[in-house]
């Protein structure tokens, strides 16, 4: 089976504050479905209140990011699925729950994962 990343940037979720709880409940319901189906690997949102840091091989830490990854934020779900078609179907469920389009990416095969 292949792992897929389903994600969206924070700005894509344009939901009135009073509907945020309903969106969260709907998203958690989809995650519960994925868990029950045995395809769930991970889901979560980036904590945008904490700045990212880069950690070097020697353990030193500096604030910031690589320029090309400056804006990684939003929500992420990783599912392990039998096909791209299945991934599209799950991405559609997440899109409906979150009320915004989702990006779909496939992880390369890794025999260690």
The answer to whether 87 touches 1, Cβ cutoff 8 Å, is no
pLDDT average, residue stretch 16-34: 96
Q: Confirm if 100 and 30 have CB atoms less than 8 A apart.
A: no
25, 44, 74, 63 alpha-carbon torsion, rounded to 10°: 150
CATH of the domain at 98: 3.30.70.1060
Which residue segment(s) compose the domain that 12 sits in? 2-106
Please, which pLDDT band fits residue 7 given cuts at 50, 70 and 90?
very high
Strand partners, 79: 4, 40
Question: Is 112 part of any domain?
Answer: no
Answer yes or no: pTM beyond 0.85: yes
User: Is 113 a member of any domain?
Assistant: no
Asked whether residue 37 is domain-assigned, the answer is: yes
Q: Is residue 14 part of a domain?
A: yes
Any domain includes 56: yes
Q: For residue range 29-80, what is the model confidence (pLDDT) as tens digits?
A: 999 999 999 999 999 999 999 999 999 999 999 999 998 887 888 999 999 9
pLDDT in tens, 78-106: 999 999 999 999 999 999 999 999 999 99
Q: How many domains does the chain have?
A: 1
CA 113 to chain CA centroid, Å, is 18
Q: Does residue 72 lie within any of the structural domains?
A: yes
């Amino acid at each position: 089976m292949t792992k897929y990343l389903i994600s969206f940037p924070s700005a894509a979720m344009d939901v009135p504050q009073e509907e945020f709880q309903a969106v969260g409940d709907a998203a958690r319901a989809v995650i519960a479905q994925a868990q029950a189906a045995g395809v769930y690997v991970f889901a979560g949102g980036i904590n945008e209140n904490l700045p990212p840091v880069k950690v070097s091989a020697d353990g030193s830490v500096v604030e910031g990011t690589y320029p090309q990854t400056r804006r990684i934020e939003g929500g992420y779900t990783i599912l392990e699925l039998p096909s791209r078609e299945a991934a599209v179907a799950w991405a559609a469920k997440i899109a409906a729950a979150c009320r915004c389009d989702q990006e779909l990416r496939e992880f390369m095969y890794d025999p260690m994962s």
